Amino acid sequence: MQYDLVVIGSGPGGYVGAIRASQLGLKVAIVERAELGGICLNWGCIPTKSLLKSASVFEYIQHAEDYGIKIEGESKADFEAMVARSRGVADGMSKGVQFLLKKNKVDVINGFGKLKDNKTVEVKKEDGSVIEVAAKHILLATGARSRELPNLPQDGVKVIGYRKALTLEKKPESMIVVGSGAIGSEFAYFYNSIGTKVTLVEYLPNIVPLEDEEVSKQLARSFKKAKINVMVSSEVLSVDTSGDKVKALIKTKKGEETHEADVILSAVGIAPNIEGIGLEEVGVVVENGKIKVDAYYKTSVDGVYAIGDIVPGQALAHVASAEAITCVEKIAGHTPEPINYSNIPGCTYTSPEVASVGLSEKAAKEAGYELKVGKFPFSASGKASAAGHKDGFVKLIFDAKYGELLGAHLVGANVTEMIAELVVAKRLETTGPELIKSVHPHPTMSEAIMEAAAAAYDEVIHI
């Protein structure tokens, strides 16, 4: 079998790259050992959003009287049904990827793929047989898995990773979540919302530590209001799984404490899947645990490329997709613009949601900018008040000299749907005055963007 491009891995980087390459006239095959769509679609982004939607609906029902609706009888979260729904959503999306690949004439080869040389992929099939696939170009898109810490080994029963958290047989009465990045915070919100007693442990001084400090503090307040036990500047030293429950020894500012729970979820990051795929044999250079690539994702070996979680940059599904498109367009002879990694949005789907792009206030000051900062609270938003979601705010950071948007930090209901406006604005070097004069519809959550810009220039009306 001879192809122009063989892609190893069918996640949001791999399958998108394969389809785009086929659109550009290349003969393409994709190698996948598990479900089409990869971790994001099957065990990450999509099924978690399904669970979070179930949690949101349950919360609405619990607070129905706040909206003038009376519900007779007790409402109950059916955990098993929520999990079943999430698996159904993921399965449907995976079938959709299968359809798209077939529609775009991409051959799917099932099995574990590895580099034999820079023109050959060796595929080990489920029955143990091995085939070789020849290609002019090979794109590695093998993704990542849950990272394990020596002091927090996962046994899949009492200490689990995100994948097991999606498919627990029954709702735990109590859970300790270690790590408050997007994965940890989303699961903490979900399990707390359906009645699990949740403790969230973060090593750094703030939860969602990559976000602007004001956003982190707002989310922590919202979590505490929802009865999540938030522990920052805290570290799990060891775990004891010998009893009916799991015990965690946690070091805090006040000293060491022992906390007990039904299960511990380790959400301390991800580890790239770069083992056993032939990198060493072929001579692909790896630095600091990631594959070294140029601006168009070419590795140190001619004809071999890599994108997504296995290369430097943000480990996000939309980043992998953008990298894949850039990479294959370059392979096909086009001249795509390299990705600007300073303009990548990040989203956390808790309640309230978090979304951001660009520099935080602290980072902008450290970079030497003189700033104009504007903040508009959703408590002053008519739409947010009507919706019953007044927690949070929009915070915009501008360069005082030229007015250029440097960063945007949002926390509140549906802000993950609002951040794209600011990504486009930042790409176009939009200024604060231009945002102020861009008429936003009323009443909407999005008009808080216009109001935050006005606040930065002392023109705000509604606060």
Structure tokens at 235: 């570290």
d(CA 70, CA 343): 45
Annotated binding site for FAD: 49, 113, 309
CB 271 within 8 A of CB 290: no
Distance CA 243, CA 236 (A): 18
d(CA 318, CA 346): 9
Among residues 63, 259, 389, 442, the one annotated as catalytic is 442
CB 97 within 8 Å of CB 7: no
Alpha-carbon gap, residue 186 to 173, rounded angstroms: 17
Query: Other CB atoms closer than 10 Å to residue 81's CB: what's the count?
Result: 10
Q: Is 442 among the catalytic positions?
A: yes
Our separate counts of H helices and E strands in the chain read: 14, 24
CA distance 122 to 300: 20
User: What phi and psi, each to the nearest 5 degrees, are found at residue 102?
Assistant: -65, -45
DSSP assignment string, 42-80: HHSHHHHHHHHHHHHHHHHHHTGGGGT----S-----HH
118 three-class SS: coil
CB 307 within 8 A of CB 172: no
What DSSP letter does each residue of 235-303 carry, written as one string? EEEEEE-SSSSEEEEEEETTEEEEEEESEEEE-S-EEE--TTSSHHHHT--EETTEE---TT-B-SSTT
CA distance 297 to 7: 13
Query: 205 near 233, Cβ under 8 Å?
Result: yes
Tokens of 149: 């810490």
Active site residue ranges: 442
